Amino acid sequence: MSPPASQRRRSRLLSWPLLFVAILAFHSLAVYLFTRGFLLTRTELDLHSSRDDRPPQGDVSAGCTSWPPPAVDRLVIVVLDALRFDFVAPSTFFPEKHPWMDKLQVLQKLAANEKTSARIFKAIADPPTTSLQRLKALTTGGLPTFIDVGNSFGAPAIVEDNIMHQLVKNGKRVVMMGDDTWIQLYPEHFNKSFPYPSFNVKDLDTVDDGVIEHLLPSLHNNDWDVLIAHFLGVDHAGHIFGVDSTPMIQKLEQYNKILEGVIDTLRTLSKPGGTHENTLLLVMGDHGQTLNGDHGGGTAEEVETSLFAWSPKTPPDAVLSVLDHSSCNVDLHGEEVCISSMQQLDFAATISALLGIPFPFGSIGRVNPELYALSTGTWVNQRMGTDACTLQNDLEAWMRRYAEVLCVNCWQVKRYIDQYSATSVIGFPSEDLQHITNLYSRAQANWSASLRFTCSSETGSQEKLEGEGSVLPQQIDAYTDFLQTFAKLARSAWTEFDLWSMGIGLLLMILSVIIQAYMLVKLNTICQPSEQKTASSSIIRKLFFAFALVAIRAASFLSNSYILAEGRVANFLLATSCVTSVWHSMVKGEFSIENLVFLLLNIFARFGIEIGMSKQLPAPAITKDHSVSAICKIFGVNSCNILLEIFPIASLAFVAYIILKCLSHAICQKFLKYFVLCGTMVSYVSIACHWASETTLFSHTRPVQEFGRSLAPRFVYAIGGLSLAISALYRIFSPSDHLKMNKRITILVAIMLCSWSPTILVLLGRQGPFVALICMTGAWCIIKLQQKCQRGSGLSVADPVSVIQWSFLAVCLFYLTGHWCTFDGLRYGAAFIGFDHFHIIRQGLLLSIDTFGVSHILPILSLPFIAVVWYNSTSKDSRLKDVILNNITQVLLMYGLVTAITATMTIICVTIQRRHLMVWGLFAPKYVFDAIGLLLTDLLICLASLYYS
């Protein structure tokens, strides 16, 4: 005897959520295995250099048997976080002058007037350019590891050998003030420290004011050898307001005054016998930033930062022979300024050589000749070894000293290469390792010939052999070739890939896609009545078309250019589906207004993606590149700015009106209806108060500002959380027999969207209403078109084209809101809306909602709309309930399959491109975003299947 229909239905209701949970577990395992194989960090050797370490006597000359002697007594490092190269270099070096240029005049004047002791460098960082990775790379002398990005909000202490460890180990006293990341990385390395919280990007002054309070007084003290002052104002001003903003310019002007005070103090105390007689000042950035203030990727704006070096004690004029003169230009005052270039990879080795401490064991950089030469101490004509002779001029003496420093530098790097290759799982390719070894052997074999001098002990005379003038530069070039070749090898093949783990993870992903596709076909077969078998050909055509669109988008990930243009690719494919729909309806003579609206909507979406929305407009001010700048020229900039401040609030009111109107028709229970309506109204009023408090209209009304900036967003979050709790209780305890199934699903979806949308809107900022209108209009078009298609065909299976359009619309909204699949695409400012202090769980949750709100949360939770609107029957029989629930299951399964196919193709592309130059700057972040997006999609589908079943 067969079980009753209600029991069979209950069994099906339980089986599909379990299937989605199984898919989530399967994908989690696949992602874990692939990530473990792909994002392995380089092997960090637990070895440290020691003062007693000596190169083998048989390999090197007597002058290269110990660590270099100190060249400076004290070092002042001023770190200006996110210091772009064009913040420091004169504007004459760039094709176009911008408002943020030429603000650090004190550095430019020193570089122009004191050419032998001051220099501006373009410092090239290695991506990813997050602050933690940059500080770690600067101090260890190694290349950044991609996996460290995950620690950017909770940095563990660095255990790998680094210059901070060497400073403490060799008796150097270090004082730090500013960004508290230093304390997280080096908790026990400072004699004195004045840390300040660094994660509140809306706070431009707390860290900087703390540094200012301690910096100048510390310069008068004798209780330190290295002073580190890390300012954060420029980085935070960029994140919140962008580079082309008044707060950014004000910060740069403030820094100029601070640096004037630092330089004047150092100059005053640099007299013979003074505190800073032999001190070196470094003003540097850890990375750059894009025009909208983001960083983390590998674009030129992000990796190009500045380093300025100045010695109060002037080296001999021979230093000009060492400095590069290939990039020279006049500044605004007509003075010649020359700019050099260096790799940040060289920072640790150079600082170690200047301070006379052992190089960090894992350092693979080269002692930079120009930065090394700017210190007067490197020009002291002293004996470097037992076989050394007093040379005839300063340049030859310095070149010999630098060659011996490079000799130790190369020995240290070769020692590291040998140890790394012996202990790591894979090491470097044998042919590349042999080439590196040959370069080192040739350089050391030529060492004795490079210093061929005959010194007469009886007369003290010196005879230089013919051709000696070119031998030292050749020896320096040989060492440089070895170091640069290995650095290039490390950049191209540093990460160890566990191909077995990667392969198993990839196979599991492919297997999951096959299983999901099979289950979808099986479900379609079950759901489709026998009388509709003849109509299945139309579904097959739609499946083929939908698969083609997904395959085209997935295949585009093989190209780094198409990954950068992913938003435009998704928009193009969405428009293609619209054009196909228009053509098909015109052939049938059933053209509808929804097709035209959807096409126009795609144009607006493409326009928003091209402009970049929040990427190009981090502040309400209008830039000359913005599309409405022509209108502003007519009405005036001030009027236009006021209009821009009012327009988002007016748009929000329109969005709220539409939502309240829909809610009043969707929800029939009085208590639930009034609660949702009141909660939504309070949320939208709070959002309007929050935006109004940030405008100039209420700049003199302190109570409004305090409420709007802090309390109003918290009201939105609280109401959203309460609405989620109410929706869960309603789902569990409300009786369903008195409602049509489609009516019940509509109520559940409406409550869920009203719980999430205000929070997402307030996090999106003033672009939120515009994005909401596009989202609602696009969803309405897809639903209406699908409804007409369903009525015409009479099929009881989900339309795959509608699901694909829903998915592409979500991708477009992700890029429309200024997000990108790179770490500089995270809108960190959104995490602090309503809060001033950093808490990793709270800020992490808000940042996640902002990042995935319009691309994952809202689209997935609103998917049942595609299923329920097809049926307007008042029937309550079990067949109608089964049809609706089956369609919801099909839609969720289709959407999960589309995401799985996309993620699988991303994994394939990353596997193929793992040796690509942009793997860590582009392909790896894309994989991380897609992997997280896949797991989040699976989780939301599991919750949706339970909530709507």
pLDDT of residue 455: 39
pLDDT of residue 807: 92
The Cα 491–Cα 473 span in angstroms is 26
Flag whether pLDDT at 725 surpasses 60.
Answer: yes
pLDDT of residue 458: 38
The confidence band for 489, taking pLDDT boundaries of 50, 70 and 90, is: confident
Residue with the bigger pLDDT between 754 and 460: it is: 754
Flag whether pLDDT at 852 surpasses 80.
Answer: yes
Cβ neighbours, 10 Å, residue 561: 8
Residue with the bigger pLDDT between 709 and 737: it is: 709
pTM summary value? 0.72
Flag whether pLDDT at 923 surpasses 90.
Answer: no
User: How far is the CA of 555 from the CAs of 124, 234, 341, 560, in angstroms?
Assistant: 33, 40, 38, 11
Residue with the bigger pLDDT between 3 and 153: it is: 3
Residue with the bigger pLDDT between 615 and 564: it is: 564
Digit-coded pLDDT (tens) for 232-290: 999 999 888 889 999 999 999 999 999 999 999 999 998 888 889 899 999 999 999 88
The Cα 53–Cα 714 span in angstroms is 58
Among 80, 117, 122, smallest CA distance to 310 is for 117
Digit-coded pLDDT (tens) for 141-183: 988 665 544 344 444 678 889 999 999 999 999 999 999 889 9
Digit-coded pLDDT (tens) for 378-406: 887 654 444 445 455 788 889 888 998 99
Greatest mean pLDDT among 34-48, 157-171, 605-619, 785-799 lies in: 157-171
Q: Which residues have CB under 8 Å from 499's CB, separation 6+?
A: 37
Give the residue-averaged pLDDT of 309-335: 88
The Cα 283–Cα 400 span in angstroms is 28
Boundaries of every domain in the chain:
14-40+497-528+873-948, 74-378, 408-450+472-496, 544-617+639-869
For 849, the token pair is 């909602």
User: How far is the CA of 536 from the CAs of 451, 524, 544, 581, in angstroms?
Assistant: 86, 10, 12, 18
CATH of domain 74-378: 3.40.720.10
Give the residue-averaged pLDDT of 923-940: 91
860 φ/ψ angles, rounded to the nearest 5 degrees? -75, -45
